[in-house]
Structures are given as structure tokens and as C-alpha cells.
């Protein structure tokens, strides 16, 4: 038997996958003439407190530094001897990490929602003192600790995104999975956002800045793979995932010409709920750019296919890294995601930018619920506006549109 202390328990290790190591506390827990002992069970991936009383063994909970240590285990053992714990109190509550994954699985399989990858990656950024904690032990105290932890290395905006995600997971998890276990317990993440000050308001590019980006791509982007990627961003103002998730089968031809079809779940404003398939009409010269890309790189499935992972698109971080290198080499000052700002501004009093950016599917009840986007007059509007913007580039760039570098 050992004098169990939190500092001693913290140092305990077990590297044997086939063995559990028990350490019994040398201080018995006694009440009304009844006595038992707390022990810590050390496994390779966890440390769990148990309480032995007569021939019975109760599981008290996992050791969590700063939240559930030897003092809390002894107190819970005392409650057992006093008969104050319900049977449900002795069932170990799941960790917040488990609840998070259950909620993501529920969204994907039951609600048929895509776009949970960002929330799943956000879980990886959550510190262990939150995600490994049993959900019954989460409190405002733990959220304040999360706030202090994140603000050391992250912006207030990043913290607000994290705490909002945590709050949404808690609400959904409690409602769908742990209504009884969490009955009467408030959401520990609710109303925990902090006021943010808008800093570094970015200068927005004009159409002429995007034309200049195109010219600089011809000179300073030696990789034609990424040159085509960012030129399509310039023409359509797409978000990176909307482009790199496109498949070869999404290039469609009909009586209007060639299109890029973004199937359900690819476009940012598309979901399995609204069943929206966004379409981008391709000017013949834009289509020629894409065909040159396909002929050179010979993708099998995705238009922008990973050269490393077979039948998979390029990764998000690759897009960011490539454009950062381009900016450093060329001196270009704007982020690639600001292409849509220039597009929308250019269309002011000229036409409808929404049919290119995809904002046409939202904003009013009429458009969101009643508009038939397959009606010929509506389709013609998609064609006319896309043609107008692409021809503006062709007129400004001339031979440089196809990648020819203009000599001085």
C-alpha cells in the first residue's frame, strides 16, 4: 500500500498493454464502522480510481489532473458508504471528446450533413483538459481555463469559434444522447464568447488588381497546375474547397456550352437539405485552359488531383502554401480569397454577381424556396453574367489570358 497523492499518481506509467497495475491507498475510507480502500488502476492509456468495499468494487472515475484526484476519489467513496450515490452516479460519464464524435457521427449519418470535417479538426485543437474530461465535470471553471489557455497563443476570434462549437456540441449531445445524465446541468460553454475588436481590416482588391495577379501568375508561378487553380479562383471567386473537390465528371456540356457543376455538398451554400447544385458557365477560352490542364496532368478522378494520394484531391494546406510562396516571389499583396470581393464589386450596376458566387440561392424566401434554377430564363442569366466577367478578363489580358508572357 502507498500514500496516494496526485503528484505520485501523475508520474505513474504502464507500458504493458496486457497488464493492469493496482496501487492501493494506505489510508482507508471509514464511515459508521464501515471501511474500504481507494486504489488507482494504471493502464497504458488511462488511470482510473476504484473503491473496494467488502466483496464489492466500484469504479469512481478517471484521474484528471486538477479536476479529479485522490481527494475527489476519497470523497466519492465516502458517499458510497453513506448510501448517497445512485447507481447511475457510479457509471462513468463519457468524455467530452466522445460526446463530440457522437454528435459529428449523428450529423453525418442521421441528418446527412456534410461539412463536419472542420468541426472534427477543431476537436484536435481542443486541449486535453477539456476533451478528456467527463461531461458531468465540465463547468464554467473549465471554460474559463480554456479561454485563458487559448488566448495565450490564439486570437479572441479563434477562441470564440472554439467555444461556439463546444456549446453547439453540448446542446446537441445532451438532447440526443445524455438527456438523463445531464438533466438540470447548464451548458458550461453558453454565453462564454468574448467581445472582439476588429483589427487589421484588409484592403480589398479592385478588378485591376486581380488582372495584375493573373499576369504575375504567368511569370512567378512556375507550376502550371497551381497557375490554373488560382486563375479559376480569379474568374469565379470560389473558395478553395469548392475548386479542389471538383471531379472530371463535373465538367458538363449542354446546348449552352460547357459548365462546371458543383454537386450537392461541394459549394458552400449547398447542403443535403437544400439539394443545390451550383453551376459555372465556362467561356470557350476558360474551357481551353481546363483542357490544357487535364492534358498535361492526366487526372483520373479529381480535376485538381493530389500527386501523392491516388484518386484524391489536393489538400487545403497545399493551396495556402502555394499562394503564400507566389506572394513572396511576386510581391502581390492580396489573399487569394479576396478575388470574390473584386468580382462582386465589379458587378455593381453591371449585372448579378450572385449567380457566379452562389449567393443567389439565399437571401430571400422567394429565391430559397420557390425559384426554379433550371428554368431557361434563369439559366440564361447564369450564362450571361459569367460570360460578361470572363470576357472582361480576356479583353484586358489578350494573349496573356492563355498564359503567354508579354515581353517588354
Angstrom distance (rounded) from CA 239 to CA 44: 43
Tell me the C-alpha to C-alpha distance, in Å, between residue 274 and each of 220, 277, 368, 375.
Answer: 41, 9, 8, 17
Backbone phi, then psi, for 47, in 5-degree steps? -130, 120
3-class SS of residue 19: coil
Sorted by where each begins, the domain ranges of the chain are 6-90, 96-176, 207-402
Contact between 78 and 70 (Cβ < 8 Å): no
The CA angle 318-319-320, to the nearest 5 degrees, is: 90
Angstrom distance (rounded) from CA 52 to CA 28: 10
Homologous superfamily of domain range 207-402 = Intergrase catalytic core (1.10.443.10)
For residue 91, the number of C-alpha atoms closer than 13 Å in the C-beta half-sphere is 7
Indicate the DSSP class of residue 364. S
- In angstroms and rounded to an integer, the radius of gyration of the C-alpha atoms of the chain is 29
Q: What is the pLDDT of residue 408?
A: 45
Q: What is the pLDDT of residue 252?
A: 95
Q: What is the pLDDT of residue 183?
A: 78
3-class SS of residue 401: helix
Residues 6 or more apart from 245 whose CB is under 8 A from it? 262, 266, 302, 313
pTM for this predicted structure? 0.57
Angstrom distance (rounded) from CA 243 to CA 220: 21
The closest of 175, 172, 168, 173 to 190, measured between CA atoms, is 168
Contact between 194 and 330 (Cβ < 8 Å): no
Contact between 229 and 280 (Cβ < 8 Å): no
Angstrom distance (rounded) from CA 146 to CA 383: 49
Tell me the C-alpha to C-alpha distance, in Å, between residue 323 and each of 224, 253, 302, 307, 386.
Answer: 13, 31, 20, 18, 25
Alpha helix stretches (DSSP H) within 202-357: 207-220, 224-236, 240-244, 284-297, 316-330, 339-346, 354-357
Angstrom distance (rounded) from CA 211 to CA 334: 12
- Which regions of the chain are under pLDDT 50? 87-88, 407-408
Q: What is the pLDDT of residue 88?
A: 41
Amino acid at each position: 500500500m502507498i500514500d496516494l497523492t496526485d503528484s505520485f499518481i501523475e508520474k505513474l506509467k504502464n507500458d504493458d498493454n496486457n497488464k493492469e497495475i493496482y496501487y492501493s491507498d494506505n489510508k482507508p475510507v471509514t464511515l459508521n464502522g464501515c471501511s474500504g480502500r481507494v486504489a488507482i488502476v494504471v493502464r497504458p492509456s488511462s488511470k482510473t480510481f476504484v473503491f473496494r468495499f467488502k466483496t464489492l468494487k466500484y469504479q469512481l472515475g478517471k484521474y484528471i489532473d486538477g479536476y479529479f484526484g485522490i481527494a475527489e476519489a476519497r470523497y466519492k467513496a465516502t458517499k458510497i458508504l453513506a448510501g448517497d450515490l445512485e447507481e447511475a452516479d457510479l457509471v462513468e460519464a463519457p468524455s467530452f471528446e466522445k460526446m463530440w464524435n457522437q454528435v459529428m457521427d449523428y450529423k453525418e449519418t442521421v441528418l446527412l450533413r456534410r461539412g463536419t470535417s472542420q468541426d472534427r479538426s477543431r476537436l484536435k485543437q481542443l486541449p486535453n483538459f477539456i476533451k478528456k474530461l467527463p461531461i458531468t465535470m465540465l463547468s464554467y471553471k473549465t471554460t474559463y481555463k480554456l479561454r485563458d489557455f487559448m488566448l495565450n497563443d490564439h486570437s479572441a476570434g479563434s477562441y470564440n469559434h472554439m467555444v461556439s462549437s463546444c456549446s453547439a456540441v453540448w446542446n446537441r449531445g445532451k438532447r440526443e444522447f445524455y438527456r438523463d445524465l445531464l438533466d438540470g446541468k447548464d451548458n458550461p460553454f453558453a454565453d462564454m464568447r468574448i467581445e472582439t475588436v476588429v483589427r487589421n481590416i484588409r484592403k480589398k482588391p479592385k478588378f485591376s488588381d486581380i488582372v495584375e495577379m493573373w499576369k504575375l501568375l504567368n511569370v512567378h508561378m512556375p507550376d502550371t497546375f497551381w497557375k490554373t487553380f488560382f486563375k479559376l479562383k480569379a474568374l469565379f471567386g470560389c473558395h478553395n474547397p469548392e475548386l479542389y473537390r471538383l471531379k472530371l465528371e463535373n465538367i458538363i456540356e449542354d446546348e449552352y456550352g460547357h459548365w462546371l457543376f458543383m454537386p450537392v455538398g461541394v459549394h458552400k451554400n449547398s447542403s443535403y437539405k437544400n439539394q443545390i447544385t451550383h453551376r459555372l458557365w465556362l467561356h470557350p477560352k476558360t474551357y481551353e485552359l481546363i483542357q490544357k490542364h487535364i492534358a498535361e496532368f492526366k487526372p483520373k478522378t479529381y480535376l485538381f488531383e493530389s500527386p501523392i494520394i491516388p484518386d484524391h484531391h489536393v489538400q487545403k494546406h497545399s493551396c495556402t502554401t502555394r499562394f503564400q510562396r507566389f506572394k513572396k516571389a511576386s510581391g502581390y499583396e492580396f489573399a487569394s480569397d479576396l478575388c470574390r470581393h473584386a468580382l462582386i464589386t465589379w458587378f455593381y450596376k453591371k449585372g448579378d454577381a450572385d449567380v457566379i458566387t452562389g449567393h443567389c440561392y439565399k437571401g430571400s424566401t422567394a429565391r430559397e424556396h420557390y425559384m426554379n434554377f433550371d428554368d431557361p430564363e434563369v439559366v440564361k442569366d447564369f450564362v450571361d453574367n459569367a460570360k460578361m466577367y470572363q470576357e472582361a478578363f480576356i479583353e484586358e489580358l489578350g494573349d496573356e489570358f492563355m498564359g503567354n508572357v508579354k515581353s517588354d
